[in-house]
Amino acid sequence: MAKKRIVTATINGREEEFLCQPRQTLLEILRNTLNLTGAKEGCSNGNCGACSVIIDGRAVNSCMILGVEAEGANIETIEGLAPGDGLDPLQQAFLENAALQCGICTPGYIMSAKAFLDENPNPTEEEIRFSMAGNLCRCTGYDKIVRAIQQAAETRAEQSASCAKETV
């Protein structure tokens, strides 16, 4: 057996150290070592996006990254998304639009959508559908997910507008 390595990464804003075999994926480390079970194992080959997390601002499939590759990375998972006392606008919008049924794809969708909206705060429907192509949902038929992301984009815009007012 290859020797375990000590990997240090920032996960949801906290510096974490974990022991990891080279053959373990980041998804396995998140779920089995760090007990962050939000990211799900779907296809394990980069098609479904259920394991999506954000690394250094970019959405990635954590099933296709080795845990040892995460050394020094800044990782965000669904567990770190909600502010202390409420829900993130994306979580709220998924809830209000019933943009989920079984829920397996939802953490991946929300993290992908977050990375996407951070980069493109005011997307068209087509841009949303194109960018979310790496996430599959077998329940909703996608329309509700697209509407939820549109609503979250609006909420985020309102929030940042009112933030801007406050600072003025």
Partner 1 sequence: MRDFEYEAPTSLADAVGLLAKSKGTARPLAGGTDLIDHVRTGRLVADLIVDLKKIPELMVLELNNAGLRLGAAVPCYKIYEHPGILEQYSAISDSSNIIGGMQVQNRASVGGNLANAGAAADSTPALIALNARVIIAGPSGTREVAVDQFCTGPGQNVLEPGEIIVELQFPPRPAHSGSHYRRFIPRNEMDIAVVGVGASVVLDASGENFVSARIGLGAVAAKPFYAQEASELLAGQPVNDETIQKAAAAARAVVHPITDMRGTQEFRTHVTGVLTERVIKKAVERARG
Quick check: 4 binds partner 1 (CB under 8 A)? no
List residues bridging with 5 in a β-sheet: 20
Quick check: 104 binds partner 1 (CB under 8 A)? no
Q: How many residues bind partner 1 (CB under 8 A)?
A: 36
Quick check: 91 binds partner 1 (CB under 8 A)? no
Beta carbon of residue 15, minimum distance to partner 1 (angstroms, whole number): 20
* Complete edge-to-edge strand list for the sheet that includes strand 58-61: 14-20, 5-11, 74-76, 52-55, 58-61
Cβ proximity of 115 and 132 under 8 Å = no
Quick check: 64 binds partner 1 (CB under 8 A)? yes
Beta carbon of residue 89, minimum distance to partner 1 (angstroms, whole number): 20
Cβ proximity of 123 and 116 under 8 Å = yes
| Binds partner 1 (CB under 8 A): choice among 37, 46, 98, 161 | 46
Contacts of 3 (CB under 8 A, 6+ apart): none
Cβ proximity of 126 and 95 under 8 Å = no
| Binds partner 1 (CB under 8 A): choice among 19, 23, 158, 159 | 23
Cβ proximity of 136 and 47 under 8 Å = yes
Quick check: 77 binds partner 1 (CB under 8 A)? no
Binding interface with partner 1 (CB under 8 A): 1-2, 5, 21-25, 44-47, 49, 52, 55, 58-61, 63-66, 68-69, 71, 112, 115-116, 129-135
